A and B are shown apart, each in its own frame.
Chain A
Amino acid sequence: MAVVFSKPKSLTDREFHYCPGCPHGIIHRLVAQAIDNLGIEGRTIGIAPVGCAVMAYDYFACDMVEAAHGRAPAVATGIKRALPDRIVFTYQGDGDLASIGMAETVHSAARGENITIIFVNNAIYGMTGGQMAPTSLPGQVTQTSPYGRDVATQGYPIRICELLSSLDGPHFIARVAVNNVKNVNQAAKTIEKAFRNQVEGKGFSLVEVVSACPTNWGMTPSKALAWVSERMIPYYPLGVFKDADEKEDRA
């Protein structure tokens, strides 16, 4: 018998600190699988965010840097420009990337930096205890929106992929989900493509992963994944929003 599935080499043996059923573990594994498949573990540098994934530097078996809250794309820009032969990725949540780090996100995309961004959207601030995030859905109950997010006073969620795909800078923008086996497999391919784009020098690639937060949503892990299908994906449709490869094909 041959091993057909095991922990990727690009993950350390450290056990994840995430809550039971937290999809961060799945997404970490997909990133590590992409690094393994492309054979780039020796020259990859990851940037950890502030948020639940703040200790991602313990889990990825490559060089890691911890950035100030939201500033991962700026740190990635500096590393990539100083060491252009390295593969530089950031791993950020929605509170990090879509709120305090929005300026860094938009401008690194507009500059078309040759970096890879993995954006985990679970529609809530996980680490700090479940406050409303820029991506919380209309009507969603959180610690700071106990009657549900009221768009009249709290505004509407931000769809990052749609927003960034209007810029000329990015090469590849896509949204995937990890709520079932089919979507996890699709997410694996998309994340690998986002890394391959950087290896081939194509430019800015961002993959938004629609995720879940069972603990702060107050659900069991399987109910949380069902909520992703029922509520999150209708608001955050999956697909490729920009792919400059295809544009070249069409031209």
Chain B
Amino acid sequence: MAKVTFNEDRCKGCGLCVEACPKKIVVIDRDRINRKGHNPATVREMDKCIGCAFCATMCPDCVITVEK
């Protein structure tokens, strides 16, 4: 059981977390924009998260907190 939390207003939608996720569950949410005006990254199927923190490791903006 693992959980990732995105501090979405810090996100710049660069997509490096999307590339890093081995489970391919991180996506850029094209339906929303954040305070900065970017489409933020988010996870749709949290139950598939393994808590590897690869997304957080590659995030340049300290958006992601990982709990396990």
By a beta-carbon cutoff of 8 Å, the part of chain A in contact with chain B is 1-7, 11, 15-16, 18-26, 29, 180-181, 184-185, 214, 220-222, 225
Beyond A2-B68, A16-B61, 4 extra complex contacts between A and B, CB < 8 Å? A5-B57, A11-B62, A20-B14, A221-B14
Q: What 4 A-B pairs have minimum CB-CB distances, sorted nearest first?
A: A25-B60, A21-B14, A20-B12, A5-B66
Min CB distance, A73 to chain B, in Å? 26
Bin the interface of chain B by size.
20 to 34
Question: Is the CB–CB distance between B15 and A220 below 8 Å?
Answer: yes
Point out the residue from B13, B16, B59, B62 that lies within 8 Å of A225, measured CB to CB.
B16
With a cutoff of 8 Å between Cβ atoms, the chain A residues found around residue B2 in the complex are 1
Min CB distance, B46 to chain A, in Å? 12
Q: Once bound together, how far apart are the Cα atoms of A181 and B21, in whole Å?
A: 10
Which of B14, B38, B60, B68 counts the most chain A CB atoms within 10 A? B60
Point out the residue from B54, B56, B61 that lies within 8 Å of A15, measured CB to CB.
B61
Contact A21:B67 (CB < 8 A) given known A5-B53, A29-B62, A184-B57:
no
Question: Is the CB–CB distance between A26 and B53 below 8 Å?
Answer: no
With a cutoff of 8 Å between Cβ atoms, the chain B residues found around residue A21 in the complex are 12, 14-16, 60
Q: Once bound together, how far apart are the Cα atoms of A187 and B2, in whole Å?
A: 25
Question: Is the CB–CB distance between A22 and B66 below 8 Å?
Answer: no
Any A CB within 8 A of the CB of B19? yes
Q: Once bound together, how far apart are the Cα atoms of A62 and B51, in whole Å?
A: 30
With a cutoff of 8 Å between Cβ atoms, the chain B residues found around residue A16 in the complex are 60-61
Q: Once bound together, how far apart are the Cα atoms of A2 and B3, in whole Å?
A: 10
Question: Is the CB–CB distance between B1 and A24 below 8 Å?
Answer: no
Point out the residue from B14, B38, B59, B66 that lies within 8 Å of A4, measured CB to CB.
B66
Which of B10, B15, B62 counts the most chain A CB atoms within 10 A? B62
